[in-house]
């Protein structure tokens, strides 16, 4: 807490706004939008690698959150206050940091992929800055940030090292998908058990089950796309690519909002919502625009 108090004492309105802007680059919306852009329009293989890293690290972080159950800094020290604009997005337990996990799982693989030392430095600086913003805003302690960063870097390096096995070898698709699915189900079962036992509140189990639903959607969608669809990312023109991206993201947003409207916000409803959203990204929407391209070619 001493470091957070140090940052607390140097806060200014301008820095508050700047760090609030920086922290958005670790939010789920930005990360999923980047993965969708790559997956639908540019580099499907690298998007899969990001998906493996992001969803696996997310499941790991959520498991640690409900295991250690460390409160937010303003609960640990009632005299401490976070930047007010950052509090609504600070859901769940404090340790480890979810925003830092998301940013590291996204930008560190970009750093590994980049050829230019300057680009590598920019991507590393990006996730370090997001981690710093979480501390400046008062939402996480250094331990929350650095453990999350270390976990995400470790998972990124493992997946990067084994990418040929995961993405190039089709012999073990079923086994890999099954491992991800079982891991996702295990995390959901663990969260629901702790919720039922009264160890954690339902709102904390909710975050875990959303991650589990996304993990299940990723394992199912990855296996289905690789074995039955194997779509091509390219369209004839840049405007066509932009239209494809905009339509897919808009439909995903509508799907998310309508799902909550019709089925509510229960733990299992949220798990099903994220399962379907990831399936939309990986299989349903690619199938639809592949069919549309085929029809246009036939004309």
Task: Please check whether residues 93 and 226 belong to one and the same domain.
Answer: no
Choose one of 118, 149, 165: the last residue of a domain: 165
Averaged pLDDT, 30-40: 94
Distance CA 63, CA 125 (A): 27
Q: Quote the domain boundaries for residue 3.
A: 1-165
Choose one of 117, 134, 165: the last residue of a domain: 165
On the question of a cis peptide bond just before residue 177, with omega within 30 degrees of 0, the verdict is: no
Distance CA 196, CA 47 (A): 36
| pLDDT over 80 at 281, yes or no | yes
Task: Please check whether residues 189 and 297 belong to one and the same domain.
Answer: yes
Task: Please check whether residues 103 and 33 belong to one and the same domain.
Answer: yes
At residue 296, the pLDDT reads 66
Task: Please check whether residues 6 and 129 belong to one and the same domain.
Answer: yes
Task: Count CA within 13 A, CB hemisphere, residue 148.
Answer: 35
Task: Please check whether residues 83 and 188 belong to one and the same domain.
Answer: no
Task: Please check whether residues 147 and 230 belong to one and the same domain.
Answer: no
Q: Which two tokens stand for residue 86?
A: 């950052």
Task: Please check whether residues 90 and 218 belong to one and the same domain.
Answer: no
Confirm if 36 and 218 have CB atoms less than 8 A apart: no
Query: Of 203, 176, 214, 282, nearest to 58 (Cα)?
Result: 214
pLDDT band for 298, please (50, 70, 90 cuts): low
Name residues whose C-beta falls within 8 Å of residue 103's C-beta, 6 or more positions apart in sequence: 25, 26, 31, 126, 127, 130, 131
Choose one of 165, 195, 219: the last residue of a domain: 165
Task: Please check whether residues 115 and 195 belong to one and the same domain.
Answer: no
In the three-class reduction of DSSP (H, G, I as helix; E, B as strand; rest coil), residue 222 is classed as: helix
Task: Please check whether residues 47 and 159 belong to one and the same domain.
Answer: yes
Task: Please check whether residues 157 and 281 belong to one and the same domain.
Answer: no
| pLDDT over 90 at 69, yes or no | yes
Q: How many domains does the chain have?
A: 2
At residue 237, the pLDDT reads 80
């Amino acid at each position: 807490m001493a470091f957070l108090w140090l940052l607390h004492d140097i806060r200014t309105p301008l820095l508050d706004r700047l760090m609030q802007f920086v922290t958005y680059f670790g939010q789920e919306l930005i990360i999923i939008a980047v993965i969708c852009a790559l997956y639908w329009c540019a580099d499907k293989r690298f998007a899969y690698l990001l998906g493996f890293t992001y969803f696996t690290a997310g499941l790991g972080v959520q498991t640690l959150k409900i295991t250690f159950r460390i409160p937010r800094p303003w609960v640990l020290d009632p005299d401490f206050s976070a930047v007010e604009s950052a509090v609504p997005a600070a859901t769940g337990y404090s340790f480890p940091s979810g925003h830092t996990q998301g940013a590291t799982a996204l930008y560190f693989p970009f750093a590994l992929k980049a050829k230019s030392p300057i680009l590598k430095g920019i991507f590393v600086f990006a996730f370090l800055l997001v981690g710093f913003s979480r501390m400046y805003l008062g939402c996480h302690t250094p331990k929350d940030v650095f453990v999350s960063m270390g976990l995400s870097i470790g998972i990124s390096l493992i997946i990067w090292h084994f990418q040929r096995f995961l993405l190039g070898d089709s012999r073990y698709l079923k086994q890999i998908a099954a491992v991800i699915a079982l891991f996702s189900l295990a995390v959901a079962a663990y969260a629901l058990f702790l919720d039922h036992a009264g160890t954690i509140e339902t709102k904390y189990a909710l975050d875990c089950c959303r991650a589990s639903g996304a993990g299940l959607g990723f394992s199912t969608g990855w296996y289905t796309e690789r074995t039955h669809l194997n779509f091509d990312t390219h369209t004839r023109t840049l405007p066509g690519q932009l239209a494809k991206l905009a339509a897919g993201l808009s439909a995903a947003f509508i799907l998310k909002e309508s799902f909550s409207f019709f089925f509510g916000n229960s733990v299992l409803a949220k798990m099903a919502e994220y399962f379907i959203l990831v399936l939309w990204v990986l299989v349903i929407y690619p199938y639809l625009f592949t069919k549309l391209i085929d029809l246009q070619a036939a004309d």
